Amino acid sequence: MTHPGRYKGILCAFFSLDWAGLLVGLLVAGFGMVTFQTGDHWGTIAFGGLIAVTGCILSAGALYHLFRVRRSAKRLPPPGQMISVGSFEMHILAEGEAGDGVPIIWVAGGHGQGLLMHHLHRRMKEETRSILFDRAGSGWSQAGPFPRTIPREADELFRLLQSAGEKGRFLMVGHSFGGLFSANFAHMHPELVSGVLLLDATPPWNLTYAGNMSFGPIRSAARKAALACLFGLGWRRRAMDQGAMELGVTKEFAGMEDQIRLEHARPRTHLSSSSALWTAAQSPFDLVVGEGALGDIPLREIIAPESHDALREQLASELRFSERQIGNLFDGLALSPQEYVRLSAQGELAHAPEGTGHMFPYEDPDFVIKHVHEMMSWIRSGVRGGAGGGQLEI
């Protein structure tokens, strides 16, 4: 790790702690008080007083944050097991019996907690072993070492499954950035994976070509949100509702809103997410991109039929892309689905229903369940299934 990367990791580790805001507030207040008391000029005294008051306000916000976290943690205990994976603990919820079926691991989009895939998990746990887990810093899992990298998190999942006694081989089902993680986990631990179902997964090409452009605004917003959370601003109703909507809270999450909002109010959530996106964009060659990298593991990539008009407008107006840059970007986007198909000798491409978008796992969960059933049948029989109602390309 480079020195800048090491320093960023240290800062992320510190500010991911819920009490970090209180320490910062007290230090600011202390500095202000010393300046106020030792100042020999009215300007210095006024400056010291202002800093002291600011520190007191920050400390009050940080205390409020700690109070809300403690109260929420008591009211929302982890539904699964907390398992040690070395220097920290991760949360895993495994339900159902595999029987003759194929055990499933669900991986949410972004760096989201496993709960975001619960609407699919609760339907499949009646048929097979279904597993949700929280990556380090998300959900009930503690913040792990920084920086957050996909290889590191794949190793953490491997250790989590071993320690929890979960037996593979598993069908990995990943949405968006979780799909990228799922493909990498299959590459690093093929002995544990029987199949991969990618739900509009983040393409590796996006990281190698446009990673910083794509993820830069998201990382910046995550860092700002983390600082706001430390000083109690993450609990504002407007902030919580906005965060819940960004995470895809719909009718599928009835009764789970409080935990999703708690997730949005904790600094470790935002800093872990920011770190994961930053390292993916900075180290794209650590990720699986090679043709045939998954051997003959059954793999299906489902892509969303979204219009790119809004994205073109955003690139031009907000990010100041030239027409040539936009053209090059979309030339790559047109090819990017094939990257995943080519990872396996048994790779195939399907399309989500018309009228849906990137969030089709929430807009049409029945469609996803159909594909899960087909993948399970394919894995058991060795014969490819249909396309679950979508167009299939082999």
Helices (H) and strands (E) in the chain, counts: 15, 9
Average pLDDT of span 99-127: 94
Q: What are residue 89's DSSP bridge partners?
A: 84
More confident position, 78 or 262:
78
Q: Are 284 and 208 in contact (CB under 8 A)?
A: yes
Residue 244 confidence (pLDDT): 45
Average pLDDT of span 19-41: 95
Distance CA 142, CA 340 (A): 31
More confident position, 312 or 344:
344
Q: Are 288 and 280 in contact (CB under 8 A)?
A: no
* pLDDT over 60 at 187, yes or no: yes
Average pLDDT of span 185-203: 95
What architecture is the 81-210+288-393 domain classified under in CATH? 3-Layer(aba) Sandwich (3.40)
User: What is the pLDDT confidence band of residue 388, given thresholds at 50, 70 and 90?
Assistant: very low
More confident position, 136 or 233:
136
Residue 249 confidence (pLDDT): 44
Residue 371 confidence (pLDDT): 97
Q: What are residue 171's DSSP bridge partners?
A: 104, 195
pLDDT digits (tens, 9 = 90+) for 80-99: 999 999 999 999 999 999 88
Distance CA 19, CA 27 (A): 13
pTM (two decimals): 0.88
Cβ burial, residue 77 (10 Å; 0-12/13-18/19+): exposed
Residue 247 confidence (pLDDT): 46
* pLDDT over 90 at 123, yes or no: yes
Tokens 């290889």, located at residue: 151
- Other C-beta atoms lying within 10 Å of the C-beta of residue 217: 13
Distance CA 304, CA 306 (A): 6
Give domain limits for the chain.
3-75, 81-210+288-393
Residue 132 confidence (pLDDT): 98
Residue 260 confidence (pLDDT): 78
Q: What are residue 106's DSSP bridge partners?
A: 132, 173
* pLDDT over 90 at 101, yes or no: no
User: What is the pLDDT confidence band of residue 175, given thresholds at 50, 70 and 90?
Assistant: very high
Exposure string (b/e) for 342-358, b if CB count within 10 Å is 16 or more? bbbebbbbbbbbeebeb
Average pLDDT of span 339-349: 90
